[in-house]
Homo-oligomer: A and B are copies of this chain.
Amino acid sequence: MVLLTPGPVEIHERVLKALSEGIASHRSETYRNWHCEAVERLKRISGLRDGSVYLIPGSGTTAVDAMIYSVLAPGEKVLAYIVGEFGRRAVNTMKARGLNVRLLEEPWGKAIRIERLKEALEEDSYDAVFIVHNETSTGVANRTLREAAELVHKHGAILLVDSVSGFAGERLYMDDWGVDVVATATQKCLAAPPGLGIVMVKSDVVERIEKVSKESPPPPSINLSLYEKFLAKCETPFTPPVNVVRALVEALRLIEEEGGIEARYREQEMRASRFYSVIDAAGLDTLAEKSARSYTVAAVRLPEGVRAPEVKKRMAELGFEIAGGMGEYREKVVRVGLMGAINADIVEAAARSLVEIIQELSRG
């Protein structure tokens, strides 16, 4: 079975092997070397020259929670511009944190529009703006983060980005674009096992985190000011999944060996292009508007009468594990992950099988 879900993804045998390389104390030199290497490599990938990278035991959701609870204090004003399920979830998290949230929303399948963001920022002032880089529920990539960051800064706010399924697959250059905070996880485009959330922050955000932690401390497990203290010695405040950290290091080495992050971006684009070509040629459509189709997660609309669970089942019989839609698209869409230790041929083969299955099912 080839894992083509929107995460976890197939992982390279070297990464799998690294998982069981052995256990180590998280207060040992062995662990510290892994931790430092992971942080340095993540900085290179994210284009973060001046800032901190936190490895947080947990999932992508843990990373987003840590970002929201550590960077923002109750009562602060946030503009959340969301385009799908994971945006909605982040808004719920912001409400649980006691933030004053204004919501901007696009219909599922659409990307954010810079003009709407501009208008909203002109109408009112905010402490922060939140955007999902790559919306896993709809297969939409928001590729205007650079323009968004410029506007956000012009209006005195900071930009928080959920890039759980975008990071290392969809272009992002933190310092050059001015993206202040990014949350992601190991089990998507990084092609490592699940178990670690990652939050990357520019250096001026570190001060903000200290202040928030003093005034309205988040739960310790997601309190980034504690992670900052231990980062200096390449450790985490609480026991990390040491085996997963070791495996992440291997996955990061692979990125470099395969030509670096730019090569990885081109690989994702190529896989996506081959996938969408097959879909388009068959006259099928995606949930995402064409210009915003994600390079990491494809969401294919199913014709009337064809249901996602049946398509998933047939794909599994052919050896491809894919996912259904989310929310109101649960049965109307299938989602195919284009990430991980696979290649464009596998992606194209999956697309061809998917087309055949959908055509067969829609003929009844």
Whether A58 is near chain B, meaning CB under 8 Å from some CB there, is yes
- The A1-51 residues at the B interface (CB cut-off 8 A) are 3, 5, 7-11, 16-17, 19-20, 22-28
Which B residues lie within 8 Å of A92 (CB)? 217, 220
Determine whether the beta carbon of A220 is less than 8 Å from that of B10.
no
A241 vs B7: C-alpha distance in the bound complex, in angstroms? Answer: 11
Given known contacts A23-B10, A27-B323, A240 and B59 CB-to-CB distance under 8 angstroms = yes
Given known contacts A8-B26, A19-B20, A243-B19, A238 and B61 CB-to-CB distance under 8 angstroms = yes
Whether A359 is near chain B, meaning CB under 8 Å from some CB there, is no
Whether A96 is near chain B, meaning CB under 8 Å from some CB there, is yes
Determine whether the beta carbon of A57 is less than 8 Å from that of B16.
no
- The A235-270 residues at the B interface (CB cut-off 8 A) are 237-244
Choose one: B95, B193, B218, B220; the contact of A241 (CB below 8 Å). Answer: B193
- The A78-129 residues at the B interface (CB cut-off 8 A) are 89, 92-93, 95-97
Choose one: B10, B93, B238; the contact of A219 (CB below 8 Å). Answer: B93
Choose one: B11, B28, B89; the contact of A220 (CB below 8 Å). Answer: B89
Choose one: B8, B27, B219, B244; the contact of A69 (CB below 8 Å). Answer: B219
Given known contacts A58-B58, A193-B242, A239-B187, A16 and B23 CB-to-CB distance under 8 angstroms = yes
**Copies of this chain, whole number:** 2
Determine whether the beta carbon of A220 is less than 8 Å from that of B57.
no
Determine whether the beta carbon of A96 is less than 8 Å from that of B217.
yes
A222 vs B238: C-alpha distance in the bound complex, in angstroms? Answer: 15
Which B residues lie within 8 Å of A241 (CB)? 193-195, 241, 244
- The A58-84 residues at the B interface (CB cut-off 8 A) are 58-62, 65, 68-69
Whether A221 is near chain B, meaning CB under 8 Å from some CB there, is yes
Determine whether the beta carbon of A20 is less than 8 Å from that of B23.
no
Chain B residue with minimal CB distance to A89?
Answer: B220
Determine whether the beta carbon of A61 is less than 8 Å from that of B221.
yes
Which B residues lie within 8 Å of A25 (CB)? 3, 5, 8, 321, 323
A289 vs B68: C-alpha distance in the bound complex, in angstroms? Answer: 43
Determine whether the beta carbon of A58 is less than 8 Å from that of B60.
no
Determine whether the beta carbon of B28 is less than 8 Å from that of A221.
no
Which B residues lie within 8 Å of A244 (CB)? 195, 241, 243-244
Determine whether the beta carbon of A3 is less than 8 Å from that of B23.
yes
Q: Mark A184-197, 1 if CB is under 8 A from B, else 0.
A: 01010000011100
Interface of A toward B, CB cutoff 8 Å: 3, 5, 7-11, 16-17, 19-20, 22-28, 57-62, 65, 68-69, 89, 92-93, 95-97, 185, 187, 193-195, 217-222, 237-244, 321, 323
| 8 A-B pairs in the complex with CB atoms less than 8 angstroms apart | A3-B25, A7-B239, A8-B239, A25-B321, A59-B239, A61-B237, A93-B220, A187-B239
Further 13 A-B residue pairs, CB within 8 A, beyond A20-B20, A57-B59, A194-B240: A5-B27, A8-B24, A16-B20, A16-B23, A57-B58, A61-B239, A68-B219, A89-B220, A195-B244, A219-B219, A219-B222, A221-B222, A244-B244
